[in-house]
Structures are given as structure tokens and as C-alpha cells.
Amino acid sequence: VPILLAGRPCNDDLARSVVGSYGWIDNGRYLSNILMRALELGAPRAIDIAPIPQFLAVLALSYAGVLLARRFDIASIPLGILAALPLGTQPFFLQNFSYRFDSVTMAAALLCSVAAIAMRNRHGRYWLFGTVSLLASFNLYQPAFNVFLVLAVFELAFEIACGCPGRDVARTAGFRISQALIAAVVYKLLFTSGVKDWVADHGQTIHSLAALPVAGTHLLDFLHYMRDALGARLAAIFFVVTLLAALPMIVLGMRRAWREQAIPDATLRSIFLLLWPALGLLASIGPMLLLVDPV
């Protein structure tokens, strides 16, 4: 509500208000162009129709929360709200929401990433629908891919907590990894040739094994960025709270696995539980690790 009441243009809104350019194709966001032209009723120039895009973004975000609750069998409404809250209250999404023109396309990208996770790994058609949904997310707004990665890590933790056999957990991991790789490769091959200017400059990826140490540098830079954004005191508190939240889950999960599961299953669960915090962190950074010059 404060964002809507402020009614201020955000960054790209300024140039778009003057020039009336759609221009999302230059950023590799083909579906954003199509969606915005549809909302503008095919007008040759982009027109500021705010707050309609923001209202539609709220609807997309709300439906993403519904899909999330259904996927993870959350019957409690308050718990469902808490589970969906990080999708919309994180600062980056709030910045996306403040764009007067294309906030709806960024929310739609988030919805598509959640929808890919909401399609369970039971049949081949779910794999196909989820992969297409993920490809649509790339074409709406590429950073929403990270939402898929974070939820995929959470999905594995959820299945382990529910006592699923190790082979089913491994199948889910393979299911999600294959979806991510296929969607990313298809997007790279078919939809990035027209990317220009700022996005082209900062979207180049590492192409050799010799350049892999750059990924480690990016990881350290990201950790420093988080620490500097929070400040030294808040960062220390955040780190302690994270440890207090994660360590009991890891210890209890491993203890339960070795008591109730066969050795192969217990080993698989223990490895994942030990790697789980690091996997969550890497998923939150996502493909930015492999960029030559990330922002």
C-alpha cells in the first residue's frame, strides 16, 4: 500500500514513460513484451497504466502462495501465509513490485517458478509442464529462477522430513536438476541472441574451467554484501539465529535416520542434511556465481 500510494516511477519507468518503449526483448524477456502488449491492448507505445500491473502482481503472488501451500500439504492458513511470506516481503521483490510498468511480469515469473515446483515428480508430463513453466519464468524475468532453486532444496528437505525412501529423494533431486538444466540450456540457445546493452554486458557467463575460481570470488563477495547490508551487529545476530535454527534440525534428522532407516538411506539423508545449509545459500545466489561480471 505505501508503494502504491507513493506512485513514483522506479528506474526504468522514467525512460519508458518518456519514450514509450516496450524493450523487454532486448533483455531476453520475450513473454514480458507479449504480456505488456496485451495489457496495453496492442498499443504501439507503452503507456503508464499503474496501478493495474501492481494489482495483477498481487494476484500472481497470492496464487503462488496457494500453490506453495498445496504442494507442501499445508492445511493451516496462518502457516500457509508464513510459508509464502518470504516470496513477497523480501526487499528485491518489493523493488520489483514498485516498477509501474512491468511489476506484473516479474510477479508472473515468480509464479511460474513456484508452479514448476508445484508439479510433483510423478509422471513425465509433470516434468514437461514444469520445464516449460520454468522456461516461461526465464522469459518473464530471469532472476525468478533462483526461487525455483531455493524451493527445490526445500522440497528435498521436506521429503526427508516426511520419511520418503532414499531412492525417491534421489529421484526428486534428479527430476529438478534435469528441469533446471534443460530450461536454462533451451533459454540460452533460443532466447538470448537478441540481448543487448546493460544486460549483455553483465550477463556473460564463465566458459572455461580455468575461470571457475571466479565463482568462489563471487560467493565471498555475496557474503560480504549480506554482512555489509545488515551491519556487523545484525549480521552476527543473524548468523547465531541461523545456527540455532539449523543445527538441531540437522542433528535430530541424522539421529532419526540412523535409528529408523537402512544404512544406504541413512547415509544419503545424513549427507544431504550436512550439505543442506550450503545448498540453500548457493541456491539463493544461483546462476550469479557463474557470471563474469555480476551486479
Span 176-234, pLDDT tens digits: 999 999 999 999 999 988 888 888 888 888 888 888 889 999 999 999 988 998 898 99
Q: Using alpha carbons, select from 58, 54, 57, 48 the residue that is nearest to residue 5.
A: 54
Dihedral over Cα of 59, 65, 70, 76: its sign: negative
3-state secondary structure 102-161: CHHHHHHHHHHHHHHHHCCCCCHHHHHHHHHHHHHHHHHCHHHHHHHHHHHHHHHHHHHH
Contact 155, 176 (CB under 8 A): yes
Span 1-10, pLDDT tens digits: 888 888 889 8
Percent of the chain with pLDDT over 90: 49
pLDDT of the residue at 52? 94
Compute CA distances 173 → 72, 140, 151, 262, whole Å. 16, 25, 12, 20
Whether pTM exceeds 0.75 = yes
Within a 10 A sphere around the Cβ of 265, how many other Cβ atoms?
20
Tell me the angle at which helices 30-39 and 52-71 cross, rounded to the nearest 10 degrees. 120
Provide φ and ψ at 141, rounded to 5°: -170, 110
pLDDT of the residue at 255? 87
Q: Which of 13-27, 137-151, 235-249 has the highest mean pLDDT?
A: 137-151
Q: Work out the mean pLDDT of the chain and round it to a whole number.
A: 90
| Three cell numbers, residue 144 | 525468478
Query: What is the residue whose three cell numbers read 511460474?
Result: 112
Contact 104, 35 (CB under 8 A): yes
Q: Is 291 helix (H, G, I), strand (E, B) or coil?
A: strand
Rounded Cα gap, residues 91 and 236, in angstroms:
20
Residue 121 has pLDDT above 80, yes or no: no
Span 41-97, pLDDT tens digits: 999 999 999 999 999 999 999 999 999 999 999 989 898 888 888 898 888 899 999
Query: What is the residue whose three cell numbers read 566458459?
Result: 207
pLDDT band with cut points at 50, 70 and 90 for residue 254: confident
